[in-house]
Amino acid sequence: MRMNYYKPGLKFLFMNNITTKLIWVFIFIGAIVFMSFIKDTRKNKRVIFFGDSITEQGAKPGGYISVMRDMLSQQGINNYDLIGAGVGGNKVYDLYLRMQEDVIQQSPDIVVIWVGVNDVWHKSMFGTGTDADKFEKFYRAIIKELKSNGIKVVLVTPTTIGEKNDYSNQQDGDLNKYSQIIRNIAKDLNLPLCDLHSIFHTYEVNNNTANADKGILTVDGVHLNDAGNKLAANEIWKVLKDVQ
């Protein structure tokens, strides 16, 4: 006697294949939604400080980033991850070139841009530096790229190249000019600004009575000492804390 076995038809096989594919599609979509949920509910705000040697030193013990971290901890504020991404000697186009790897790939919520000293200082030191129009072009390009990746941006003006408070330091003219470029960009793009250039000058007027060229807020006219790191940490935090 011949046994009759049930053989699934093509329609059954097709529907079964479609069902399996749909299950995997839903699993894939669910994984994406879950990862998005994890990112959106990340407890801490990730802040990257993007700059030159001042920021490179700022991430070390006693530097302004470390001072800010300690300051927040003492205040019971524990929902910020503060990360330094400073490289000594960097100018604005150096930041532009390493932005993807050192910043964007780290998925920060906020980036604090602090650059400009070397763009001015290196003109007299090495005959290089960055012309004002190119400085603005690269600076705006950095902001545009960060914002296109959903990253909030805080701008900081460069501080000092020499601490004399009567505008007699050699690079004061250019430093004022480049600081004004950053102020204009902040106003034009409606971005938060920490105007450390003006803040440091006011401090020098009030505290540098001997009109010394260093030793008040810096160790060498540029790189911050303890007082400079504390002032920078406090002033940047005043702006950073309001970025939502």
In a domain, 1, yes or no: no
Query: Distance between CA 46 and CA 108 in Å, rounded?
Result: 5
How much of the chain exceeds pLDDT 90, in percent? 80
**17 shares a domain with 105:** no
Residue 171: what residue type? Answer: Q
pLDDT in tens, 201-214: 999 999 999 999 99
**16 shares a domain with 47:** no
**150 shares a domain with 135:** yes
**20 shares a domain with 99:** no
What is the gyration radius of the CA atoms in the chain, in angstroms? 26
Q: Is the pLDDT of residue 139 over 50?
A: yes
In a domain, 123, yes or no: yes
CATH of the domain at 170: 3.40.50.1110
Domain count, the chain: 2
DSSP structural state of residue 104: G
Q: Is the pLDDT of residue 13 over 60?
A: no
Give the model's pLDDT for residue 17. 61
Long-range contacts of 90-94 (CB under 8 A, 24+ apart): 90/51, 90/52, 90/53, 90/115, 90/118, 91/52, 91/115, 91/118, 91/119, 91/122, 91/129, 91/130, 92/116, 92/119, 92/130, 92/134, 92/135, 92/138, 92/139, 92/142, 93/130, 93/134, 93/138
Query: Distance between CA 140 and CA 93 in Å, rounded?
Result: 11
Give the model's pLDDT for residue 18. 61
DSSP structural state of residue 127: S
Q: Is the pLDDT of residue 101 over 50?
A: yes
Please, which pLDDT band fits residue 43 given cuts at 50, 70 and 90? confident
Supply the mean pLDDT for the chain: 89
**30 shares a domain with 79:** no
What pTM did the predictor assign?
0.83
In a domain, 3, yes or no: no
Q: Which of 4-8, 11-15, 31-35, 108-112 has the highest mean pLDDT?
A: 108-112
In a domain, 148, yes or no: yes
Give the model's pLDDT for residue 210. 97
**83 shares a domain with 35:** no
**193 shares a domain with 99:** yes
Give the model's pLDDT for residue 128. 87
Average pLDDT over residues 17-31: 60
Give the model's pLDDT for residue 123. 82
pLDDT in tens, 216-234: 999 999 999 999 999 999 9
> What range does the domain containing 24 cover?
9-40
Two tokens at 207?
């505290």
**150 shares a domain with 30:** no
Two tokens at 229?
């790191």
Query: Distance between CA 183 and CA 187 in Å, rounded?
Result: 6
Please, which pLDDT band fits residue 28 given cuts at 50, 70 and 90? low
Other Cβ atoms less than 10 A from the Cβ of 195: the count is: 18
**87 shares a domain with 18:** no
Give the model's pLDDT for residue 212. 98
In a domain, 25, yes or no: yes
Give the model's pLDDT for residue 124. 77
pLDDT in tens, 44-89: 999 999 999 999 999 999 999 999 999 999 999 999 999 999 999 9
